[in-house]
Structure 1
């Protein structure tokens, strides 16, 4: 039983057209289940998300991002986007390979049935091989399950969403700090203007006081001169 299951999953390279099909689909599945986890390990981290968010904020695109979900989608790297869509694509790709293999097998069977008395006995190897045509579909299902389980174990989407929520909170805190700084600057500017106006008023009052004192002194001098003349 174990050998039969193992032989079912292994590709059969017998030189037929289906053998080449197995090689193509098998390489696609193998590259996908290796490349996606490796690329996610390299790109799905806080430093990369921060760098992409800073780039969007520098050119004005980040201003429209108001929720953690929007930021999470915006800062997702290409491998992260592919990791979301690729498992389903691989599943469909595996089914496509199986249907192509079944079509090839049925075409071969139809060719054997044309003008051959021993057609039934000739169909035996083809019927035995029909079960193997589901090998590509099983590869697609395996790749789908592997990537889904790996994404749940790695939990990069949850980590990116949590980071996005922190980025929203940090942005709100920075905005509050900027508003407080602007209000403080406005208060300081008003205070400086008031102090400058008060200083001008004091200087003007001092000048008026000096002029008043000079005027009184002149009047006193004039009054004293008249008394002397009288």
Structure 2
């Protein structure tokens, strides 16, 4: 267990001990999910420090080889293990550390956070089949299917695990909403940084299907009070990303 995973586990033991077992059980799957996204990126994105990439092989600038299953550009699949010069690697952040590609120090931290946060989201997700619109939205817990930082939630107020549990949609936390008009549900971090609450103390309770997108008044009658913010996300820049790959294929 890496340091961030252990930190999450320690915080959970204090604030949500009932999730500790499920969190530990979800860690291998979360690592494989993030590793699959990282493997796709290494194969098809033009990254510095890579000499060549083929269907199931990446050659680093220093001659080392990373071997894994063949992937098409838009495959969505977990990868429990990749081989770096014949040695198995099972954690995406540890693998990226070992690759030592230029400028990836921050990404290593993002992958550590993403694995731990994804495991926690899966552990806290409802096991019941979703019925309402908000339950369907809250059931989408894995994040972007191609982005290695699919569940990166760095920082957090009161500790990373506590912050994720208090604000992430899979955990269905209550949110303040205005009594007269729908307001954008805020992450608790905003309230604890010296800002005035967006709603009065008498505000009703709302549950967020997804962050920054909607509020559903509780207990509710099946209707949803939706409020969207004008936020530019990575979907915009992604439409203008470079071609899938311009690197040559590795020699046989």
Same fold (TM over 0.5): no
Q: Which has the higher contact order (CA 8 A, sep 6+)?
A: 1
For Structure 1 versus Structure 2, the TM-score category normalised by the shorter chain is under 0.3
